[in-house]
């Protein structure tokens, strides 16, 4: 055993006593003096360290990006990769467990909960944490088995069949994969294998045997959905083969899993669409927070949840507008949501952020629209969506108008960009149409894009808001117990605004940050690796904010965005540190890109 | 000079040539050593347990540590049971003393030894070893309390130095394992040695 020091901190608390004993038996102890380098880019990473005493800092170049203290583990990511770009330096005389890579990786294979810590993306790690914390009872969603969800029947082809045969079969049957028989062995051939076939310049008559993979990643039909999700995550695949007593039965697609998690929302959506009065709508609206609570418990990731809530809110707002606006006004107008609601990144209810675009004529004039707008804002207020303190609402004449009026407004914001105008611009860039014709908004965004092309300096002024808040490396928080961290200011806003500025620069009209990241990668405006890290970081921060918000509302407080890092457990702190390190990297890149130092 | 003479003298007294390797000092590796015995009297104390762990660079190799129980000829006296917690029935399953000592010799090889009041352990071990190989452990011995004393007095000449194990560990910031388990004590001593080495007193 590891010199008698027990391995009890997360994730090792997920190990069985026998597993822990085996791991401890394989462990050494290490001692480092101040400023000794423990891990660095030059050496292979074959050890996972768990601090018993002392402190270690993680350096990216000259910048400290994270700090570790007793009970903390470093560095899971480096261990899996076998290398690290960062240097881990002893900050204060450190004693640590040194766990051999092979033993740790072997445990990730045999103990899924422990494995999740290493293979799960940051966001899934959070879901695992929630599950382990057992904050509330295990939900039926997690307890459901693969069989209960229903499995897509697999289509079997022969190993001698060609890739063209497979393509034809997959097209007619709308499948993403086929199973391939070769004697007794069964392999899988998926749509992404086609990509490689094309890339490798293979002919269409290439037999499937040459390309199918015969090491199946499988789950049993009676496995829990959660295990299936974990298996997909761990192997980074979109589908797994479902087996029964070792025999392939069918294929489980990740998209089926995720949609299963969201089907519970269909009931609410139907109630919204059927509601004939504002009272009936208020009832349906009241279901949304309950659904959020259930899905959080079920381990659904914050970004998925946010898109779901956005879709429900959009239907709610649209139905409300239909009920309060006279038919002529409804027909001539487009209702727009803005800010985080527009981006689809809002989960708990926050202020109303909305706007209106309308055509005059046919009995529609400013007065009629104003009346309907006032009724709309009041109705939402009644549903529990508070009025926006900044008055970014349809009942404010500055946030409604004809396309011509909106053009004047946008022109003014772009040409006289004071802080107020830049803030409004940022809010407007996240706009999405939820009711009525989407074309007028799209037209306005194109107009904005054209204006932006004429003014390079504007982008830098626009991006400068990034500097408004500092993103700490968490060192200060660790040293100073109970210091709070504002997730929104330190992490969420820099990612969102940075992506917004880059999307603006590249004429990307997506409003959702994850979609903006994808589009930026597609345009080679952002490294794929960084975009993935940012998506993970945002996902984590949204999850932490959601939990902080839920906890606050449970205690009757308004949802806020503040966490106390010292009160998070070692794993959560580890994740938060990683996320903030990514944010700092992104800010440094943007500072350079937009030449923010020049101001 | 004297040390070299003493080693040459011991080498001549070695009766078992298989252990000539004890005299070939290994560079950069150490063995931290601790024994539990039936009493604190060197002359009649009997071995109950031996714990030893290698130190290589930053590492204390607990994964390949040496830890044996030794079956004594006499029952442990009541007083010493209170210290080490090893009752007669616990050590009954232990190795015969000669087997334990040959295994220890193989484990130590030519590595210098590290320990806290090592002199006592070496004296007891020597009493057992002489009938087997003609000599006790000839390895260079690094006394932690002595190195700690040097470290403290070099920084502040004439200072009173508390050499108790507890005070020494607390001052060096070394996390202590539960005491009076031979391997635990050897492991803690290994960490204390590394802390001293980091301060230039290895």
pLDDT for A138 = 32
Cβ contact B184–A93 (<8 Å): no
Residue B9 lies in a domain: no
In a domain, B186, yes or no: yes
CA distance A257 to A231: 12
For A31, the closest of B53, B183, B194 (CB atoms) is B194
Distance from CA of B202 to the nearest CA of A (A): 13
Pick the CATH number of A12-119 from 3.40.470.10, 2.60.120.10, 3.30.1370.100, 3.30.450.150: 2.60.120.10
Among A167, A153, A77, A82, smallest CA distance to A122 is for A77
pLDDT tens figures, A363-403 = 899 999 999 999 999 999 999 888 888 888 999 999 999 99
Are residues A36 and B58, on separate chains, in Cβ contact within 8 Å?
yes
φ, ψ for residue B95, nearest 5 deg: -80, 155
Q: How far apart are CA A522 and CA A306, in angstroms?
A: 23
Q: Tell me the two tokens of residue A415.
A: 């040409």
- The 10s digit of each residue's pLDDT in B109-149 is 999 999 999 999 999 999 999 999 999 999 999 999 999 99
Tens-level pLDDT at each residue, chain A (599 residues): 344 678 877 778 888 888 988 899 999 999 999 999 999 998 899 999 999 988 898 887 777 777 788 888 888 877 877 788 789 999 889 999 999 998 988 887 788 778 766 665 334 444 444 444 333 323 444 456 788 777 777 889 999 999 999 999 888 887 888 999 988 888 899 888 888 888 888 888 999 988 888 888 888 888 877 677 767 766 767 788 998 888 888 888 877 776 665 555 555 777 788 788 998 888 888 878 777 776 676 566 777 778 778 888 888 999 999 999 999 999 999 999 998 888 877 777 777 889 999 999 888 999 999 999 999 999 999 998 888 888 889 999 999 999 999 999 999 998 888 888 998 999 999 999 999 999 999 999 999 988 888 777 888 888 888 888 888 876 655 556 667 888 988 999 999 999 999 999 999 988 889 999 999 999 999 999 899 899 989 988 988 888 888 777 767 676 678 888 877 776 777 788 889 989 999 999 999 898 886 54
**Contact status, residue A66 vs residue A88, Cβ threshold 8 Å:** no
Which class is A461-598 in CATH? mainly alpha
Mutation for B interface: A31, A38, A46, A48, most B CBs within 10 A: A31
Q: Return the structure tokens found at A242.
A: 């479902």
Count the Cβ atoms, other than its own, within 10 Å of residue A174. 7
The CATH architecture one would assign to domain A140-257 is: Roll (3.10)
Collapsing DSSP states into helix, strand and coil, what is residue A54?
strand
Nearest 5 degrees, angle CA A528-CA A598-CA A422?
75
Q: What total number of domains does chain B contain?
A: 1
| B3 domain residue, yes or no | no
The pLDDT value recorded for residue A131 is: 46
Kindly report the CATH class assigned to A301-449.
alpha beta
CB pairs A-B closer than 8 Å:
58
8 Å CB contact of A3 and B61:
no
SS3 A589: helix
* Closest-CA residue of chain B to A99: B63
Residue whose C-alpha is closest to residue A289's, from A263, A309, A275: A309
Q: Which of B60, B178, B181 sits opposite A31 (nearest CB)?
A: B60
Q: Do A31 and B178 touch (CB under 8 A)?
A: no
The per-residue pLDDT for B76 is: 66
- Name the nearest CA neighbour of A52 among A3, A108, A125, A100: A3
For testing the chain B interface, which of A27, A28, A34 should be mutated: the one with the most B CBs within 10 Å? A28
Look up tokens 């917690």; give the residue: B85
Which chain A residue lies closest to B60 (C-alpha atoms)? A29
Element counts in chain B: helices (H) and strands (E): 8, 6
Residue B72, domain member (yes or no): yes
Find the chain A residues whose C-beta atoms sit closer than 8 A to any C-beta of B. Answer: 1-5, 25-33, 36, 52-54, 93, 95, 98, 100
Mutation for testing the A interface, residue in B58, B61, B176 having most A CBs under 10 Å: B58
* Closest alpha carbon to A445 in A397, A410, A400: A410
Q: Which one of B175, B184, B198 has the shortest CB-CB distance to A33?
A: B198
Residues of B in contact with A3 (CB under 8 A): 53, 60, 62, 65, 177, 183-184, 187
Residues of B in contact with A29 (CB under 8 A): 59-60, 62, 187, 190-191
User: According to the model, what pLDDT value does residue A455 have?
Assistant: 78
Which residues, in sequence order, are bridge partners of residue B32? B53, B114
Q: Are residues A84 and A45 in contact, defined by beta-carbon separation less than 8 angstroms?
A: yes
Rounded CA-CA distance A192/A525 in Å is: 24
- pLDDT value of residue A119: 60
Q: Which of B173, B183, B187 sits opposite A93 (nearest CB)?
A: B173
CA distance A96 to B59: 10
> Which residue of chain B has the CA closest to A5?
B177
> In chain A, which residues have their Cβ closer than 8 Å to the Cβ of B195?
31, 93
Q: Which chain A residue has the Cα nearest residue B186?
A: A3
Residues contacting B1, CB < 8 A, separation 6+? none
**Matching fold, domains A12-119 and A461-598:** no
Please list the residues that pair with A51 across neighbouring strands.
A96
Structural tokens at position A456: 């390079």
Q: Is the N-terminal amide bond of A75 cis, ω within 30° of 0?
A: yes
* Domain enclosing residue B189, as ranges: 15-198
Domain range annotation of chain A: 12-119, 140-257, 301-449, 461-598
A26 contacts in B (CB within 8 Å)?
Answer: 63
Q: Do B58 and A52 touch (CB under 8 A)?
A: no
Chain A partners within 8 Å of B181 (Cβ): 4
B195 Cβ under 8 Å from any chain A Cβ? yes
Give, for all 202 residues of chain B, the pLDDT tens digit: 567 777 888 888 899 889 999 998 899 999 999 999 888 888 888 899 999 999 999 999 999 999 999 988 776 677 777 777 777 777 778 899 999 999 999 999 999 999 999 999 999 999 999 999 999 999 999 999 999 999 998 887 777 888 999 999 999 999 888 877 899 999 999 999 999 999 998 8
Report the CATH number at residue B147. 3.30.420.10
Residues in chain A: 599
DSSP 8-state class, residue B111 = P
**Which of B60, B171, B195, B200 has the most A C-beta neighbours within 10 Å, making it the best mutation to test the interface with A?**
B60
B200–A contact, CB cutoff 8 A: no
pTM for the full predicted model: 0.49
Q: How far is residue A38's CA from residue A59's CA, in Å, rounded to a whole number?
A: 11
Helix (H) or strand (E) segment spanning residue A194: helix A191-199
For residue B8, tell me if it sits in a domain: no
Taking each helix axis from N to C end, the angle separating A225-235 and A254-274, rounded to the nearest 10 degrees, works out to 130
ipTM: 0.85
pLDDT at A520: 95
Q: Which residues pair with A207 in a beta bridge?
A: A162
Cβ-defined contact of B61 to A52 (cutoff 8 Å): no
What is the C-alpha to C-alpha distance for residues A101 and A256, in angstroms, rounded to an integer? 35
């Amino acid at each position: 055993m590891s010199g008698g020091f027990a391995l009890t901190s997360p994730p090792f608390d997920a190990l069985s006593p026998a597993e822990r004993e085996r791991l401890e038996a394989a462990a050494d102890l290490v001692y480092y003096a101040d400023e000794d380098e423990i891990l660095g880019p030059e050496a292979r990473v074959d050890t996972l360290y768990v601090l018993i005493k002392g402190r270690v800092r993680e350096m990216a170049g000259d910048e400290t990006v994270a700090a570790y203290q007793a009970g903390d583990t470093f560095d899971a990511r480096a261990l899996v990769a076998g290398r690290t770009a960062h240097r881990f330096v002893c900050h204060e005389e450190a004693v640590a467990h040194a766990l051999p890579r092979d033993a740790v990786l072997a445990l990730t294979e045999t103990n899924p909960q422990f494995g999740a810590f290493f293979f799960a993306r940051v966001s899934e790690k959070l879901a695992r944490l929630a599950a382990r914390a057992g904050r509330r009872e295990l939900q039926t969603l997690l307890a459901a088995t693969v069989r209960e969800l229903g499995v897509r029947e697999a289509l079997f082809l022969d190993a001698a069949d060609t890739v063209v045969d497979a393509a034809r079969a997959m097209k007619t049957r709308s499948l993403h994969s086929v199973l391939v028989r070769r004697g007794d062995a069964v392999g899988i051939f998926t749509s992404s294998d086609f990509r490689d076939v094309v890339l490798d310049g293979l002919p269409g008559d290439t037999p499937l045997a040459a390309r199918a993979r015969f090491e199946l990643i499988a789950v049993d039909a009676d496995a829990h959905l959660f295990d299936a999700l974990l298996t997909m995550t761990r192997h980074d695949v979109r589908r797994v083969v479902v087996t029964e007593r070792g025999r392939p039965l069918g294929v489980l697609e990740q998209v089926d899993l995720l949609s299963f998690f969201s089907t519970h929302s269909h009931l609410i959506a139907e109630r919204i669409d059927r509601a004939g009065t504002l009272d009936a709508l208020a009832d349906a609206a009241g279901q949304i927070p309950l659904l959020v609570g259930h899905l959080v418990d079920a381990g659904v990731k914050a970004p998925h949840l946010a898109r779901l809530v956005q879709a429900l809110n959009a239907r709610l707002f649209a139905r409300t507008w239909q009920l309060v606006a006279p038919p002529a006004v409804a027909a001539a107008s487009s209702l727009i949501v803005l800010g985080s609601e527009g981006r689809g990144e809002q989960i708990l209810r926050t202020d109303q952020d909305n706007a209106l675009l309308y055509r005059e004529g046919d009995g529609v004039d400013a007065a009629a629209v104003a009346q309907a707008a006032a009724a709309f804002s009041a109705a939402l207020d009644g549903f529990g969506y508070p009025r926006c303190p900044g008055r970014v609402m349809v009942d404010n004449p500055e946030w409604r108008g004809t396309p011509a009026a909106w053009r004047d407004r946008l022109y003014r914001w772009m040409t006289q960009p004071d802080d107020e105008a830049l803030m409004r611009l940022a809010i407007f860039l996240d706009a999405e149409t939820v009711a009525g014709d989407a074309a007028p908004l799209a037209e306005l965004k194109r107009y904005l894009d054209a204006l932006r092309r004429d003014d390079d300096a504007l982008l830098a002024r626009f991006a400068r808001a990034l500097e408004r808040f500092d993103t700490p490396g968490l060192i200060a928080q660790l040293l100073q117990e109970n210091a709070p961290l504002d997730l929104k200011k330190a992490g969420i806003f820099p990612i969102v605004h940075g992506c917004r500025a880059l999307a603006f620069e590249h004429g990307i009209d997506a409003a959702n940050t994850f979609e903006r990241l994808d589009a930026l990668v597609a345009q080679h405006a952002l490294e794929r690796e960084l975009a993935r890290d940012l998506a993970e970081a945002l996902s984590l921060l949204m999850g932490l904010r959601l939990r902080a918000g839920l906890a606050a509302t449970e205690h009757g407080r308004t949802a806020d965005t503040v966490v106390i890092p010292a009160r998070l457990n070692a794993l959560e702190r580890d994740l938060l540190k990683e996320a903030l390190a990514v944010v700092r990297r992104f800010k440094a890149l943007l500072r350079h890109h937009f030449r923010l130092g020049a101001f | 000079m004297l040390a070299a003479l003493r080693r040459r003298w011991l080498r001549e007294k070695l009766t078992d040539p298989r252990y000539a390797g004890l005299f070939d000092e290994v560079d950069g590796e150490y063995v931290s050593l601790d024994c539990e015995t039936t009493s604190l009297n060197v002359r009649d104390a009997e071995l109950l347990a031996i714990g030893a762990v290698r130190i290589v660079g930053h590492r204390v190799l607990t994964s390949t540590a040496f830890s044996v129980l030794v079956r004594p000829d006499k029952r442990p006296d009541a007083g010493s049971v209170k210290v080490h917690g090893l009752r007669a029935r616990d050590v009954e399953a232990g190795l015969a003393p000669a087997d334990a000592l040959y295994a220890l010799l193989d484990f130590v090889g030519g590595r210098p030894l590290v320990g806290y009041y090592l002199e006592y352990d070496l004296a007891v071990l020597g009493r057992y070893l002489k009938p087997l190989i003609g000599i006790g452990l000839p390895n260079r011995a690094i006394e932690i309390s002595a190195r700690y004393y040097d470290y403290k007095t070099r920084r502040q000449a004439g200072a009173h130095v508390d050499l108790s194990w507890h005070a020494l560990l607390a001052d060096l910031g070394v996390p202590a394992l539960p005491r009076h388990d031979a391997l635990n004590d050897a492991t803690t001593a290994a960490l204390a040695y590394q802390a001293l080495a980091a301060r230039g007193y290895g």
